[in-house]
């Protein structure tokens, strides 16, 4: 009589047990699923991902910076020299695009952006020779590392190309090649690392602001140019004959290309398509415009006429000076930087050069060296919020002091390297063409061609 009852009780207990196990399993499964989901989400957040908008902009910026060197800088310099030397300048700039690309791939990128370990303060390492660690899947920030490598490559191309303007019309092509390769290895790469090498690098530790290369490119090149033009010596006829530009329209065209390309130089240094890049573009335009107009009016007031070469040179001075500040200055700071750089560079390229008597053929030191120094110092002021800047971690006084320290290091580093390298080259293959070759012109004597028939 009790068997049905016992059977019912057993079935009930079995049902309750199974329900409990199912409920426990479901809860456990939910917890496990949630844990897996969280792990996947965390891994996704940690894994670097490519932003297509940033990548598209950086590919464009890279092309713009290369456009600055060839043909922009080449034409700007080419118009300023005499007709018998135009090809020599064009070839020198073109050669830099080739040689510096190879140097950058073989060891330059690794030395500039590698972790230097015990030498991290000053230089990277040689662990990434021939870009052996860079693949199609490598990511730098939000862009492919290949794009970052190429973007930074364009900077090492234009820096030694800037220097050639200081000793234009008189240096051996072979000496120029040897000097730029050794100087880039011993000066450009270390200064680049000190400024942009990240945690542990010298300028990073000081809190220096150099957004797009005031120290790395312009002061570095300007000092090398000053040393080179002094050690190579003056051009035949300097100070006694008129060494006039042979094609001012080429210079204006080249300056215009530099102006446009500089948006890639400065706005591209944000490495992203964002608000900082937009502000960098704006202040680049503002500072350049102010500098061009300032130089124009200074010449107009002083000499009675504004010149085409003058307004072009003023624009370049503004472009140079806003470079370190382009990621932190606002429009008000850009106006100040444009005005000050133009006025001071005008004095340097005219009064100072004539007073000291050095033959800086195309005013590399007068515009890039001096303009870079002015811009680097004013970066410490113009980054301040009361100047409309983006702000900084240090006080204005401390920031300016940090900027000055970076300027001094760059001047000394580039100067010492330049003196040593030029001295060794002069004692081996010689720096300068002979007087007959200089009189003939470097187009014929060094390259066997002429720019015009």
Q: In the predicted model, what is the mean pLDDT of residues 145-164?
A: 98
Q: Say yes or no to pLDDT of 9 above 80.
A: no
Write down the pTM of the prediction: 0.89
Kindly indicate whether the domain formed by 55-119+127-447 is annotated with CATH number 1.10.3430.10. Answer: yes
Q: Say yes or no to pLDDT of 430 above 70.
A: yes
Residue 26: its pLDDT value, please?
44
Kindly report the average pLDDT of the chain as a whole number: 92
Query: CB-based contacts of 283: which residues, under 8 Å, 6+ apart?
Result: 266, 322, 325, 326, 329, 330, 331, 333, 334
Residue 47: its pLDDT value, please?
61
373: nearest Cα among 347, 332, 335, 411: 411
Cα of 246 vs its chain's centroid, Å: 30
218: nearest Cα among 109, 364, 329: 364
Residue 28: its pLDDT value, please?
46
Q: Which ranges of 47-144 would DSSP assign to H, the alpha helix?
A: 52-67, 74-80, 86-103, 109-113
Q: How many CB atoms lie within 10 A of CB 404?
A: 15
Q: What percent of the chain has pLDDT over 90?
A: 87
From CA 188, how far away is CA 295, in angstroms rounded?
A: 30
Q: In the predicted model, what is the mean pLDDT of residues 220-241?
A: 94
Residue 240: its pLDDT value, please?
82
Predicted confidence band at 453 (pLDDT cuts at 50, 70, 90)? confident
Q: In the predicted model, what is the mean pLDDT of residues 206-227?
A: 98
Radius of gyration of the chain (CA): 29
Please write the tens of the pLDDT for every residue from 355-405: 999 999 999 999 999 999 999 999 999 999 999 999 999 999 999 999 999
349: nearest Cα among 374, 332, 381: 374
- Using alpha carbons only, what angle is made at residue 334 by residues 331 and 339, rounded to the nearest 5 degrees? 135
* Beta bridge mates, 144: 139
349: nearest Cα among 300, 299, 304: 299
Q: Say yes or no to pLDDT of 35 above 70.
A: no
Please write the tens of the pLDDT for every residue from 247-277: 999 999 999 999 999 999 999 999 999 999 9
From CA 319, how far away is CA 76, in angstroms rounded?
A: 14
Q: In the predicted model, what is the mean pLDDT of residues 442-449?
A: 96
- Render 352-413 in DSSP notation, one character per residue: IHHHHT---TT-IIIIIIHHHHHHHHHHHHHTSGGGT----SS-HHHHHHHHHHHHHHHHHH
Q: In the predicted model, what is the mean pLDDT of residues 116-132?
A: 97
Residue 25: its pLDDT value, please?
46
- The DSSP 8-state label assigned to residue 137 in this structure reads T
Predicted confidence band at 34 (pLDDT cuts at 50, 70, 90)? low
Residue 48: its pLDDT value, please?
73
Q: Which tokens belong to 402? A: 């940090």
Give me the residue spans of the domains in the chain: 55-119+127-447
Q: Say yes or no to pLDDT of 46 above 60.
A: no
From CA 4, how far away is CA 10, in angstroms rounded?
A: 10
Residue 33: its pLDDT value, please?
46
* Beta bridge mates, 171: 432
Packing angle of the helix pair 308-322, 331-347 (nearest 10 deg): 130
Residue 38: its pLDDT value, please?
55
């Amino acid at each position: 009589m009790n068997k049905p009852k016992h059977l019912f009780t057993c079935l009930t207990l079995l049902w309750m047990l199974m329900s409990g196990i199912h409920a426990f399993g479901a809860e456990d499964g939910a917890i496990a699923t949630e844990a897996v989901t969280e792990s996947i989400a965390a891994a996704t957040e940690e894994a670097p991902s490519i932003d297509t908008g940033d990548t598209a902009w950086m590919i464009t910026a890279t092309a713009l910076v290369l456009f600055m060197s060839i043909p922009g800088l080449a034409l700007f310099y080419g118009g300023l020299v005499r007709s018998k030397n135009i090809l020599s300048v064009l070839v020198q700039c073109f050669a830099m695009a080739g040689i510096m690309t190879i140097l950058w791939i073989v060891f330059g990128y690794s030395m500039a952006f590698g972790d230097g370990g015990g030498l991290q303060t000053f230089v990277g390492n040689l662990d990434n020779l021939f870009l052996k660690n860079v693949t199609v899947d490598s990511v730098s920030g939000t862009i492919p590392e290949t794009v970052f490598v190429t973007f930074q490559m364009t900077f090492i191309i234009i820096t030694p190309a800037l220097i050639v303007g200081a000793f234009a019309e008189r240096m051996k092509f072979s000496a120029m090649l040897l000097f730029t390769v050794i100087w880039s290895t011993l000066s450009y790469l270390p200064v680049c690392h000190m400024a942009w090498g990240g945690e542990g690098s010298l300028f990073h530790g000081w809190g220096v602001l150099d957004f797009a290369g005031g120290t790395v490119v312009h002061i570095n090149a300007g000092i090398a140019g000053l040393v080179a033009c002094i050690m190579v010596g003056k051009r035949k006829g300097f100070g006694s004959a008129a060494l006039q530009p042979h094609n001012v329209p080429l210079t204006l065209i080249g300056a215009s290309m530099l102006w446009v390309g500089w948006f890639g130089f400065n706005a591209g240094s944000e490495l992203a398509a964002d608000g900082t890049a937009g502000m960098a573009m704006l202040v680049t335009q503002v500072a350049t415009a102010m500098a061009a107009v300032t130089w124009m009016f200074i010449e107009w007031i002083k000499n009675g006429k504004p010149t085409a070469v003058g307004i072009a040179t003023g624009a370049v001075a503004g472009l140079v000076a806003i470079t370190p500040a382009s990621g932190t200055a606002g429009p008000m700071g850009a106006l100040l930087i444009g005005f000050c750089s133009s006025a001071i560079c005008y004095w340097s390229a005219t009064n100072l050069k004539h007073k000291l008597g050095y033959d800086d053929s195309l005013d590399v030191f007068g515009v890039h060296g001096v303009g870079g120094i002015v811009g680097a110092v004013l970066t410490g002021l113009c980054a301040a919020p009361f100047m409309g800047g983006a702000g900084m971690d240090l006080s204005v006084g401390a920031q300016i002091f940090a900027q000055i320290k970076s300027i001094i290091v760059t001047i000394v580093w580039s100067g010492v390297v330049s003196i040593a390298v030029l001295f060794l080259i002069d004692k081996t293959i010689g720096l300068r063409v002979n007087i007959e070759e200089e009189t003939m012109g470097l187009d014929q004597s060094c390259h066997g061609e002429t720019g015009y028939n």
